[in-house]
């Protein structure tokens, strides 16, 4: 089933250079069966032409409150749309919206509509970072606007920083997720992500190469699927949606404590963190100096968070990860038993896969099934995993009722 089939998308285009990407966005949306009507601000017409938008959408393009048969285009369109997506949204338009102005068709219909409104900010990085723009964005967020992006990188003006409109493919993916059924509604999901750091002395630690990308992608996918998500994260440089509760930890012991503080009303626990198995016995209080050719550091085992969760919270659906360099499936099946969990997501660690990469390739192992997900972006893999985890949740709960 195509989720976007016959979905009515009102695309608002404001006057930013990223408007040149809108024809491509319309093409992607209409290819999926969506009906796209476009509203342009006066300035947007400097960047993109009406015939192009009309041809690609095969729908009328609007530019004034006086468009439409009964001169009520703003009301007609505000009722028609399943979603209003304003891409690109300039700093000026963000300011207009946050103050409730209605001085053209797009701003007027935004006041009139009861449909969700999404903005995809697009502007020079200083304009984006300006306190006024930031406080306008907060105001919009607190008034039910959804904000997608911006991306970070090289800008049309030659500067580098935050303010790039999300790419059409990314906007399409977000719209997909927006309309996808909320299969995890009312579920409380706890997810761990990233590495842990085990201090050796005040300036050194033991850790691993985990970037946290898989766990963060799972947190976003679970949230989009309707779950209440708590993300317990080791040190990473990643950010997460404001609506997701994030608890930051450093060591395995801190992660252990944070997880167990959140398991009482948890339905699903996803242990995606690369928790260090060992920590130093005694953390040196001053820097370890270079003296002998070799030194010995004694390590002791950290608590196994996932395994303990199975002992203390057997009713929670528990999902583990296995990052392996060899004997992937054999090790994964062993882990399924050892850690007594419902699913192990086994990923090969290697070139372009696993730790730091944006892509992953995983085998999903349960007691009665083994599904291979082919190589894809971690954000895409995360969506597929949340579906499979939901199926496992339903199966386990129906078994429990038997
Ligand atoms: O024990 P191992 O690291 O091989 O297994 C990986 C899985 O176990 C991952 O899901 C990881 O989050 C979890 N784990 C844990 N506590 C540890 C080590 C790993 O929960 N101390």
| Residue 335 near ligand 1, beta carbon < 6 Å | yes
270 in Cβ contact with 186 (< 8 Å): no
pLDDT of residue 74: 79
pLDDT of residue 68: 64
pLDDT in tens, 94-153: 999 999 999 999 999 999 999 999 999 999 999 999 999 999 998 998 888 988 888 888
pLDDT of residue 47: 96
Q: 61-70, 360-369, 386-395: which has the minimum mean pLDDT?
A: 61-70
Stretch 57-84: mean pLDDT, rounded?
Answer: 84
Residue percentage of the chain with pLDDT more than 70: 97
Residue nearest (by alpha carbon) to ligand 1 atom 16 = 304
pLDDT: which is higher, 327 or 375: 327
Q: 385 C-alpha to center of ligand 1: Å?
A: 18
For residue 341, give the ligand 1 atom closest to its CA: 10
H-only helix segments in 160-212: 168-179
Q: Report whether pLDDT(179) > 60.
A: yes
Residue nearest (by alpha carbon) to ligand 1 atom 4 = 322
pLDDT: which is higher, 188 or 400: 188
Stretch 192-207: mean pLDDT, rounded?
Answer: 97
d(Cα 215, Cα 232) in Å, to the nearest integer? 9
pLDDT of residue 383: 87
Q: Report whether pLDDT(71) > 70.
A: no
Looking at the annotation, which residues are catalytic?
157
Q: Which domains does the chain have, with CATH numbers?
A: 8-179 (3.40.50.1950), 188-401 (3.40.50.10300)
Task: Among 263, 268, 275, say which to mutate for ligand 1: greatest number of ligand atoms within 8 Å of CB.
Answer: 275
d(Cα 285, Cα 72) in Å, to the nearest integer? 73
Nearest CA to 183 out of 224, 154, 129, 142 is that of 224
pLDDT of residue 353: 59
pLDDT of residue 50: 96
| Residue 318 near ligand 1, beta carbon < 6 Å | no
d(Cα 370, Cα 348) in Å, to the nearest integer? 15
- Distance spanning both ends of the chain, measured CA to CA: 31
- The reported pTM is 0.74
The half-sphere exposure of 211 on its side-chain side, counting CA atoms within 13 A, is: 15
206 in Cβ contact with 198 (< 8 Å): yes
Stretch 181-191: mean pLDDT, rounded?
Answer: 95
Stretch 265-277: mean pLDDT, rounded?
Answer: 98
Count each helix (H run) and each strand (E run) in the chain, helices first: 13, 20
For residue 331, give the ligand 1 atom closest to its CA: 4
């Amino acid at each position: 089933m195509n989720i976007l089939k016959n979905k009515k998308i009102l695309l608002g285009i404001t006057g930013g250079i990223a408007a040149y990407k809108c024809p491509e966005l319309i093409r992607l949306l209409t290819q999926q069966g969506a009906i796209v009507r476009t509203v342009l601000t006066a300035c947007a017409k400097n960047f993109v032409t009406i015939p192009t938008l009309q041809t690609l959408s095969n729908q009328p393009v609007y530019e004034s409150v006086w468009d439409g048969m009964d001169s009520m285009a703003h009301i007609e369109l505000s009722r028609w749309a399943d979603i209003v997506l304003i891409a690109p949204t300039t700093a000026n338009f963000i300011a207009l919206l946050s103050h409730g102005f209605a001085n053209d068709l797009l701003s007027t219909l935004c006041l009139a509509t009861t449909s969700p409104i999404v903005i995809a900010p697009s502007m020079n990085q200083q304009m984006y970072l300006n306190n006024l723009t930031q406080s306008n964005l907060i105001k919009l967020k607190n008034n039910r606007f959804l904000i997608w992006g911006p991306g970070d990188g090289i800008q049309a003006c030659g500067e580098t920083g935050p303010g790039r409109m999300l790419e059409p493919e990314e906007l399409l993916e977000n719209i997909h997720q927006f309309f996808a059924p909320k299969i995890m509604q009312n579920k409380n999901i706890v997810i761990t992500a990233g590495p842990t750091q085990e201090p050796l002395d005040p300036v050194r630690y033991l850790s691993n190469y985990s970037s946290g990308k898989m766990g963060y992608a799972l947190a976003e996918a679970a949230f989009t699927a309707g779950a209440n998500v708590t993300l317990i994260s080791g040190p990473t440089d990643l950010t997460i949606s404001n609506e997701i509760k994030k608890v930051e930890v450093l060591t395995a012991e801190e992660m252990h404590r944070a997880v167990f503080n959140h398991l009482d009303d948890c339905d699903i626990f996803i242990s995606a963190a690369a928790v260090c198995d060992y920590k130093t016995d005694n953390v040196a209080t001053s820097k370890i100096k270079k003296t002998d050719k070799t030194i010995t550091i004694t390590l002791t085992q950290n608590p196994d968070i996932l395994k303990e969760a199975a002992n203390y919270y057997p009713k929670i659906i528990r999902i583990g990860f296995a990052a392996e360099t060899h004997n992937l499936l054999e090790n994964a099946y062993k882990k399924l038993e050892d850690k007594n969990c419902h699913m192990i997501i086994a990923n090969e660690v290697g070139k372009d896969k696993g730790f730091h990469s944006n892509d992953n390739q995983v085998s999903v192992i349960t007691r009665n099934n083994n599904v291979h997900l082919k190589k894809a972006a971690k954000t895409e893999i995360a969506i597929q995993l949340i579906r499979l985890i939901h199926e496992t949740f339903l199966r386990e709960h129906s078994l429990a009722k038997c």
